[in-house]
């Protein structure tokens, strides 16, 4: 009885505090699919609504809260109306004890949750599925969409589980995503400002994990700002993991991508984390492993129509296609959708056992650990560690670096500085295929193991014969401690 009375008191205090925080006009709406009733008022626990249909009829106001009861499940789509305001967002969360409330789209619409032309929303602690009877291109778990809406601000997704979304695994058909955002317009330039996707778990989604869209063409360049993708776990997703598109200054950090199933078609390319049509992107403190796309399949990629991409202090391991690709399509360079791939920085990363595709792909056996393709310019690859583990695959592409000419032109002004290339004793020689890249420079790198066509490095570091990177790896300065622990754990499992 005392505990029950205390619980009531706490609920009253919380309700009072929420009223003070959000203003007297804001309300708390309750959802309970088990005991609710759509004829109720919805504004108390005992008057909770039952269905998403009823919820979608309400137009919400700044400071409102929508609370789903823990342990409940809902069928249909959540398509809310109304916007919050600065310092007074509309918040979706849970109440009670138990598992996250689940919203099942069942493939009835292209998405289970649709945030369309609304702003100042925060959605927390729910679970979303969108599993139809058959796969369908363009299907999403959550879609954030703005069109002819101007600057659309403050959309935050936190601690959401998105699973079992059966879009198409074919990219050109429209794919599918766990979470996707897109913005644009013919009348009003539209973009997102302050878009946060944090601590979400995305799994068993076809084709991709978290992707974006927007005004990427340079003749209508209007990038989204303050886009942050942080602390998410993406697994059992066969295609692209995280792809910010049409952003300026996007931050992608502390994410884990793993266990990508090998089910894409041969023509379909995918990679772990990469920007497209974005400038000043920072990708840091992430771990990507097990990317198994038939083409590309690197842990990280600096793709075309991107300026000033920085990929630093990440951990890449056991990816079929290698650790990193830097690329540009020479045939479209200079057109509105391809300003170039310039000023890319790849710094302080660790790659272990990447480049292990066990079968031939488009051009045959191809899985270089570093792939630079087409007219990418002014790239700096510095202070990284590339560890090659002995493999028993006879025909494996044993390439440390491959430079080639996508679309005709070659990369230019590429600097490899202070990197360590380490090949485990007993493994076959790895080759450097530098092609006709212009002004490719090696400066101060260390080479352990057997190599073919090892490049000239006038300041090559002398080998330390006492160093064994499998037992005592020396981390780049600034490498985060939590990733150091992950690297050591992976090396211990190899040993």
- List of domains in the chain: 22-406 (2.160.20)
Tokens for 394, please give them.
Answer: 């006879």
Tokens for 478, please give them.
Answer: 């600034």
* 50 or 9, higher pLDDT: 50
85-134 confidence digits (pLDDT tens) = 999 999 999 999 999 999 999 999 999 999 999 999 999 999 999 999 99
Residue 268 pairs in a beta bridge with: none
Residue 317 pairs in a beta bridge with: 289, 352
* 13 or 226, higher pLDDT: 226
Residue 91 pairs in a beta bridge with: 65, 122
In the structure, what pLDDT confidence band is assigned to residue 19 with cuts at 50, 70 and 90? very low
CA angle (354 as vertex; 454, 299 as ends), nearest 5:
115
Strands of 370-373's sheet in order across: 300-302, 324-327, 370-373, 399-404, 430-433, 451-452
64-78 confidence digits (pLDDT tens) = 999 999 999 999 999
Q: Is the pLDDT of residue 249 over 90?
A: yes
Q: Is the pLDDT of residue 12 over 60?
A: no
Tokens for 204, please give them.
Answer: 């068993």
What's the rounded Cα separation, in Å, for the pair 120 and 114? 14
What's the rounded Cα separation, in Å, for the pair 34 and 48? 10
Tokens for 454, please give them.
Answer: 């090892």
What letter does residue 327 receive in the DSSP assignment? E
Q: Is the pLDDT of residue 290 over 70?
A: yes
Q: Do residues 156 and 196 touch, judged by C-beta distance below 8 A?
A: yes
Q: Do residues 101 and 72 touch, judged by C-beta distance below 8 A?
A: yes
Q: Is the pLDDT of residue 10 over 80?
A: no
Q: Say how many C-beta atoms besides its own lie within 10 A of residue 24's C-beta.
A: 8
In the structure, what pLDDT confidence band is assigned to residue 465 with cuts at 50, 70 and 90? confident
What's the rounded Cα separation, in Å, for the pair 198 and 200? 6
146-156 confidence digits (pLDDT tens) = 999 999 999 99
Residue 436 pairs in a beta bridge with: none
What's the rounded Cα separation, in Å, for the pair 35 and 348? 54
Average pLDDT in the 229-239 region?
A: 98
Q: 3-class secondary structure for 75-121? A: ECCECCECCCECCECEEEEEECCCCCCEEECCCCCCEEEEEECCCCE
Count of residues in the chain: 495
What's the rounded Cα separation, in Å, for the pair 453 and 226? 44
Q: What share of the chain in percent tops pLDDT 90?
A: 90
What's the rounded Cα separation, in Å, for the pair 80 and 60? 8
Q: Do residues 203 and 127 touch, judged by C-beta distance below 8 A?
A: no
- Of 312, 317, 265, nearest to 290 by C-alpha is 317
Instruction: Find the range with the poorest average confidence among 6-15, 171-180, 346-355.
Output: 6-15
Give the pLDDT of residue 49. Answer: 98
At 15, which helix (H) or strand (E)?
Answer: helix 2-22
What's the rounded Cα separation, in Å, for the pair 209 and 165? 10
Give the pLDDT of residue 13. Answer: 44
* 483 or 472, higher pLDDT: 483
What's the rounded Cα separation, in Å, for the pair 116 and 192? 12
Q: 3-class secondary structure for 342-410? A: ECCEEECCEEECCCCCCCCECCECCCCCEEEECCCEEEEEECCEEEECCCCCCCCCCEEEEEECCCCCC
Give the pLDDT of residue 24. Answer: 55
257-274 confidence digits (pLDDT tens) = 999 999 999 999 999 999
342-351 confidence digits (pLDDT tens) = 999 999 999 9
What's the rounded Cα separation, in Å, for the pair 35 and 24? 28
pTM of the model: 0.94
């Amino acid at each position: 009885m005392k505990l029950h009375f205390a619980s009531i008191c706490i609920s009253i205090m919380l309700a009072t505090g929420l009223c003070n925080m959000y203003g007297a006009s804001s309300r708390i709406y309750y959802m309970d699919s088990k005991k609710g009733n759509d004829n109720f008022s919805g504004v108390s626990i005992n008057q909770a609504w039952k269905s998403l249909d009823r919820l979608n009829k309400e137009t919400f106001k700044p400071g409102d809260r929508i609370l789903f009861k823990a342990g409940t499940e809902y069928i249909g789509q959540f398509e809310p109306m109304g916007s919050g305001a600065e310092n007074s967002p509309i918040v979706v969360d849970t109440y009670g004890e138990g598992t996250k409330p689940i919203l099942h789209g069942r493939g009835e619409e292209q998405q289970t949750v649709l945030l369309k032309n609304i702003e100042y929303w925060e959605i927390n602690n729910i679970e979303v599925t969108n599993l139809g009877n058959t796969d369908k291109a363009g299907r999403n778990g959550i879609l954030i969409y703005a069109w002819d809406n101007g600057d659309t601000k403050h959309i935050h997704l936190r601690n959401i589980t998105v699973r079992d979304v059966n879009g198409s695994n074919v990219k050109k058909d429209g794919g599918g995503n766990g979470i996707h955002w897109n913005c644009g317009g013919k009348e009003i330039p539209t973009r997102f400002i302050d878009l946060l996707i944090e601590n979400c778990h995305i799994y068993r989604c076809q084709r991709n994990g978290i992707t974006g869209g927007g005004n990427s063409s340079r003749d209508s360049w209007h990038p989204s700002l303050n886009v942050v993708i942080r602390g998410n776990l993406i697994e059992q997703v066969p295609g692209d993991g995280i792809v910010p598109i049409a952003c300026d200054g996007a931050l992608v950090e502390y994410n884990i991508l793993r266990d990508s199933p090998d089910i894409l078609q041969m023509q379909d390319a995918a990679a772990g984390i990469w920007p497209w049509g974005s400038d000043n992107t920072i990708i840091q403190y992430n771990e990507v492993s097990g990317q198994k796309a038939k083409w590309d399949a690197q842990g990280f990629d600096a793709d075309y129509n991107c300026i000033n991409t920085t990929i630093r202090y990440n951990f890449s391991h056991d990816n079929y296609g290698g650790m990193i690709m830097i690329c540009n399509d020479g045939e479209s360079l200079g057109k509105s959708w391809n300003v170039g791939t310039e000023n890319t920085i790849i710094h302080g990363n660790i790659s272990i056992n990447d480049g292990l595709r066990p079968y031939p792909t488009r051009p045959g056996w191809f899985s270089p650990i570093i792939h630079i393709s087409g007219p990418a310019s002014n790239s700096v690859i510095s202070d990284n560690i590339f560890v090659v583990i002995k493999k028993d695959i006879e025909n494996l592409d044993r390439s440390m670096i491959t430079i080639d000419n996508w679309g005709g032109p070659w990369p230019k002004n590429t600097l490899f500085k202070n990197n360590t290339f380490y090949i485990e004793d007993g493994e076959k020689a790895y080759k450097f295929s530098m092609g006709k890249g212009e002004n490719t420079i090696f400066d101060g790198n260390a080479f352990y193991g057997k190599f073919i066509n090892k490049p000239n490095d006038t300041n090559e570091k002398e080998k330390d014969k006492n160093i064994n990177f499998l037992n005592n790896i020396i981390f780049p300065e600034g490498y985060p401690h939590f990733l150091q622990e992950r690297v050591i754990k992976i090396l211990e499992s190899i040993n």
